[in-house]
A and B are shown apart, each in its own frame.
Chain A
Amino acid sequence: MTLVLEQLLNGVQLGVMLFLLAAGLTLVFGIMGVINLAHGSLYMVGAYAAALAAKMTGSFLLAIPAGLAAAALTGMAVEYLVIRHLYARDHLDQVLATFGLILFFNQMIILLFGRQPIFVQIPPFLSGAIDLGLFPYPIYRLCIIAAGLLSAAALYFLIQRTRLGMLVRAGATHREMVQALGVDIRLLYTIVFGLGALLAGFAGLMAGPLLSVQVGMGEQILIMTFVVVVIGGLGSVAGAFWGALLVGLVDTSLRAFLPQIMRGFMAGSEADALASGISAMGVYLLMALVLLIKPKGLFPGHA
Chain B
Amino acid sequence: MKTMRMMAVAAAAFCAAGAVQAQEPLKIGMITTLSGPGGYLGQDIRDAFQLAIDMQGGKLGGVPVQVLVEDDGLKPGQGKQISEKFMKTDKVKLLTGIVFSNVALAVVPDVLEDGGIYVSPNAGPSNLAGKECHANYYVVSWQNDSLHESAGSNANNLGYKKAFILAPNYPAGKDALEGFKRAFKGEVIGEVFTKLDQNDFAAEIAQIRAAKPDFIFQFHPGGAGIAFLRQYQQAGLLDTVPMVVPSPSMDAVTLKAIGEAAVGVNVSAQWNNDLDNAANKAFVEAWKKKYNDRPITYYASQGYDTALAIGAALKGTGGKVDDAKAFRTAMLKADFASVRGNFKFGNNQHPVQDWYSMKVVKGDGGAPIIKTMGKISSNTGDFYAKDCKL
Residues of B within 8 A of A108 (CB): none
Residues of A within 8 A of B57 (CB): none
Within the assembled complex, what's the spacing in Å between the Cα atoms of A119 and B210?
Answer: 28
For A255, the closest partner residue in chain B by CB is B203
Q: B interface, how many residues as a size bin?
A: 35 or more
Residues of A within 8 A of B197 (CB): 220
Q: Which of B108-116, B228-236, B265-273, B366-374 lines the interface with chain A? A: B228-236
Q: For chain A residues 261-284, which have a beta carbon within 8 Å of chain B?
A: 268-269, 272-273, 276-277, 280
Answer yes or no: A98 CB below 8 A from chain B CBs: no
Check B206–A129 contact: CB distance below 8 A.
no
Tell me, rounded to whole Å, the shortest Cβ–Cβ distance linking A206 to chain B. 12
Check A276–B194 contact: CB distance below 8 A.
yes
Residues of B within 8 A of A217 (CB): 199
For B199, the closest partner residue in chain A by CB is A211
Q: Which of B9-17, B31-39, B278-286 lines the interface with chain A? A: B31-39
Check B195–A129 contact: CB distance below 8 A.
no
Residues of A within 8 A of B36 (CB): 115
Within the assembled complex, what's the spacing in Å between the Cα atoms of A115 and B74?
Answer: 14
Check B204–A255 contact: CB distance below 8 A.
yes
Contact check: which of B223, B234, B236 meets A117 at CB < 8 Å? Answer: B223
For A276, the closest partner residue in chain B by CB is B193
For B169, the closest partner residue in chain A by CB is A276
The total of chain A residues at the interface (CB under 8 A) is 40
Within the assembled complex, what's the spacing in Å between the Cα atoms of A14 and B36?
Answer: 28
For A138, the closest partner residue in chain B by CB is B234
Q: For chain B residues 170-199, which have a beta carbon within 8 Å of chain A?
A: 174, 177, 191-195, 197, 199
Q: Which of A5-13, A24-32, A153-161 lines the interface with chain B? A: A5-13
Check B202–A13 contact: CB distance below 8 A.
yes
Tell me, rounded to whole Å, the shortest Cβ–Cβ distance linking B192 to chain A. 6
Check A210–B200 contact: CB distance below 8 A.
yes
For A17, the closest partner residue in chain B by CB is B200
Answer yes or no: B257 CB below 8 A from chain A CBs: yes
Tell me, rounded to whole Å, the shortest Cβ–Cβ distance linking A137 to chain B. 8
Answer yes or no: A212 CB below 8 A from chain B CBs: yes
Answer yes or no: B102 CB below 8 A from chain A CBs: no
Answer yes or no: A123 CB below 8 A from chain B CBs: no
Within the assembled complex, what's the spacing in Å between the Cα atoms of A122 and B195?
Answer: 25
Within the assembled complex, what's the spacing in Å between the Cα atoms of A220 and B39?
Answer: 21
Residues of B within 8 A of A2 (CB): 210
Check A3–B207 contact: CB distance below 8 A.
yes
For A10, the closest partner residue in chain B by CB is B202
1/0 per residue B22-36: CB within 8 Å of A? 000000000000011
Answer yes or no: B384 CB below 8 A from chain A CBs: no
Residues of A within 8 A of B258 (CB): 119
Tell me, rounded to whole Å, the shortest Cβ–Cβ distance linking A205 to chain B. 16
Within the assembled complex, what's the spacing in Å between the Cα atoms of A225 and B224?
Answer: 20
Where the two chains meet, the residues of B that have a C-beta atom closer than 8 Å to any C-beta of A are 35-37, 39-40, 169, 174, 177, 191-195, 197, 199-200, 202-204, 206-207, 209-210, 222-224, 226-227, 230-231, 234-236, 257-259
A–B complex contacts, Cβ < 8 Å, 5 sampled: A117-B223, A211-B227, A212-B227, A252-B202, A273-B193
Where the two chains meet, the residues of A that have a C-beta atom closer than 8 Å to any C-beta of B are 2-3, 6-7, 10, 13-14, 115-117, 119, 121-122, 127-129, 135-138, 140-141, 209-212, 214, 217, 220, 252, 255-256, 259, 268-269, 272-273, 276-277, 280
Given contacts A3-B207, A6-B209, 9 further A-B contacts (CB under 8 A): A7-B203, A10-B202, A14-B200, A116-B40, A138-B231, A138-B235, A209-B230, A214-B223, A220-B197
